[in-house]
A = this chain, B = another copy of it.
Amino acid sequence: MLTFDSPVFAAYALAASAMVLLAVATAWITVIQMMRHKAGYRAPEDAKKTPLNPVPAEGQVGAFEPVERYRRIMANHLENIPFFLVVGLLFVLTGPGLVLAQWLFYGYAISRIFHFLAYATGQIHDIRATFWTIGSVIIVAMAVIVLMTALSSI
C-alpha cells in the first residue's frame, strides 16, 4: 500500500511533501524577514558583530512583529502539519477509496495554504479560523477512521 504505484499513496505523498515545503518555506521567510529588517533575532549572541552581521543594529534581538508573525504561523503549522503527516500515512493503510482520500489530502493541503496566506497578509481572525477549522476537521476525520479500524482489528 505504501508505494507510489498506489494512487491513494501518491495523493498522500503529494500533499505531505507540499506541506513539508510549506513549513520549510515559512522558516525561510522568517529568516529573510530577520535579515531584511535586522530585527527579531532571538539568542543573546545574535547581537554580536560577525562576518554576516558586520554592523549589529540596536535592538536586533527581541520580538519584532514582522518576524513574530511568521513565528506564529510556524507555531500554528507545528500544531497541525506533523499530525496530518502521520495520521495521513496511517489513513492510507486503512485502504480508503481514492476519491475520499484525494478530497481529504488535497482539502487539507489547500486549507493550510490558504490559512498561511490569510495569516501572512493579516486577514481578520474569522477567515483564518475558517481555514484552520477545515484542516483540523480533516485531521480528526482521518484519526477517527484510523482509530475505528485499529479497534476493529484488535
A residues adjacent to B (C-beta < 8 A) = 1-5, 7, 9-11, 13-14, 16-18, 20-21, 23-24, 27-28, 31, 41-46, 48, 50-53, 65, 69, 72, 74, 78-83, 85-87, 89-90, 93-94, 119, 122-126, 128-129, 136, 139-140, 143-144, 146-147, 149-151, 153-154
Contact = CB atoms under 8 A, between A and B. Distances in A.
A22 to B, nearest CB: 10
A10 B150 contact: yes
Nearest to A148: B17
A40 to B, nearest CB: 12
A21 B143 contact: yes
Contacts of A17: 87, 90, 143-144, 146-147, 150
A106 to B, nearest CB: 11
A143 B111 CA distance: 20
Nearest to A13: B150
Contact of A85 (B65, B82, B122): B82
A8 to B, nearest CB: 11
